[in-house]
Chain A
């Protein structure tokens, strides 16, 4: 059949130059489709070949960009930022932990309110909600949560900027989640929806400020623990005025003041977030 006939060099040259009349062009193409030998005779520049393949290589290996990322890119969060904010396994875990905690809280709240105690539900929420961002931030940075920290910490991106970027990202997401949960809470709306925000701000800045001395997870658990034990002590002492005492206007002002102090400490000591400074 076709074994007798192959595309000779002259014909191939005419074909590649585009100088063949239609019928011969079609015949050459049909033959080449069936004949690996003649296909292989077509000369191709190795530089072009490797260049062309490198694009294929990148395409099949590079992480594919999901819809969330595309949306974020549109609102000004470029791909590389996204990578920095989500890459470490601990960051992913702390996202997950915060999400689960919020869900748990919401469920507990609604169970309590259904059982006829909406006041207890909103109190529980007020006590626990400020801790959520702290849980989230504890996985943001540092040797304790990042097995690759020694590498991360010696790159030009290392240092306070990266810590704060990650911290702000996790804190804001956790805060938004808690806020949504707060709106679903029964009881006096404004208190559940907003009363926990300043305590949360205090705990987060406090955690970060403390993290200039301790590691982030330790700092987070110290402050979280202090918050819970402090609240417990107050509750034991004056149960009936528990919420007004701890979440009333004067308390809120002192939270704000304390948070400002913590922020100032954080700012002054921010260089301690660099691994180059031993701890």
Chain B
């Protein structure tokens, strides 16, 4: 069901805020979707590239994202989320569903393999607060095993649910949960 337009939406331009653009998209203004796309497609692509090596899959995921935005823009107002975060959540889910199946090409991070064990539970906000120059968390994260780190990344940073992350990595949900707990404990140790 497509439910549309109650009151007229003012015209938008390059300077309009994301929320204004999304309201205009909900009122079926193609121009608003174009501005939104041109504003966000670049960083979405850069970030999706860190998750997937196939440019065609990435391009398709971005296209799917904005088609979904066109259909669902009216839902945006109901949530209090930031538009960029909302877009990212859609985009990463699109990528995950595109990659689902036996031959998934999700990139685990390229860094070296350190000791298997434990990590942290940093929320995205915590990471922002810490920044790169804050010493403790960085090395701790780097010392996590790749599989624990990917799980942290998928849940804390990409906003996937544990179930989605488990599906993505092809492991049972229970395993994912216990690994996440392990990662948390381990990070706490490394940070104190």
Chain A interface residues toward B at CB < 8 A: 1-2, 5, 11, 15-16, 18, 21-34, 36, 39-40, 42-44, 49, 52-53, 55-57, 59-61
A26 touches B157 (CB 8 A): yes
Given known A22-B149, A28-B132, A44-B42, contact A53–B124 (CB-CB < 8 A):
no
CB distance from A47 to the nearest CB of B (A): 12
Closest to A50 in B: B38
A56 touches B142 (CB 8 A): no
B110 touches A18 (CB 8 A): yes
Closest to A44 in B: B42
- Whether B188 is near chain A, meaning CB under 8 Å from some CB there, is no
User: Measured between alpha carbons, how far is A44 from B104 in the docked complex, in Å?
Assistant: 26
Given known A52-B62, A53-B38, contact A31–B157 (CB-CB < 8 A):
no
Q: Is the interface of B mostly helix, strand, loop or mixed?
A: helix
- Whether B100 is near chain A, meaning CB under 8 Å from some CB there, is no
A33: which of B39, B85, B139 is its contact (CB, 8 Å)? B85
A22 touches B111 (CB 8 A): yes
CB distance from A17 to the nearest CB of B (A): 10
B142 touches A33 (CB 8 A): no
User: Measured between alpha carbons, how far is A2 from B47 in the docked complex, in Å?
Assistant: 20
Chain B residues contacting A1 (CB-CB under 8 Å) are 128-129
B63 touches A59 (CB 8 A): yes
A23 touches B138 (CB 8 A): yes
A34 touches B110 (CB 8 A): no
Chain A residues contacting B93 (CB-CB under 8 Å) are none
B42 touches A30 (CB 8 A): no
A27: which of B59, B63, B131, B140 is its contact (CB, 8 Å)? B131
Given known A2-B128, A27-B131, A43-B42, contact A22–B109 (CB-CB < 8 A):
yes
A44: which of B45, B127, B131 is its contact (CB, 8 Å)? B45
User: Measured between alpha carbons, how far is A12 from B14 in the docked complex, in Å?
Assistant: 24
User: Measured between alpha carbons, how far is A36 from B46 in the docked complex, in Å?
Assistant: 14
User: Measured between alpha carbons, how far is A26 from B42 in the docked complex, in Å?
Assistant: 18
Closest to A61 in B: B30
A57 touches B30 (CB 8 A): yes
B50 touches A27 (CB 8 A): no
B43 touches A39 (CB 8 A): yes
B132 touches A32 (CB 8 A): no
Closest to A11 in B: B132
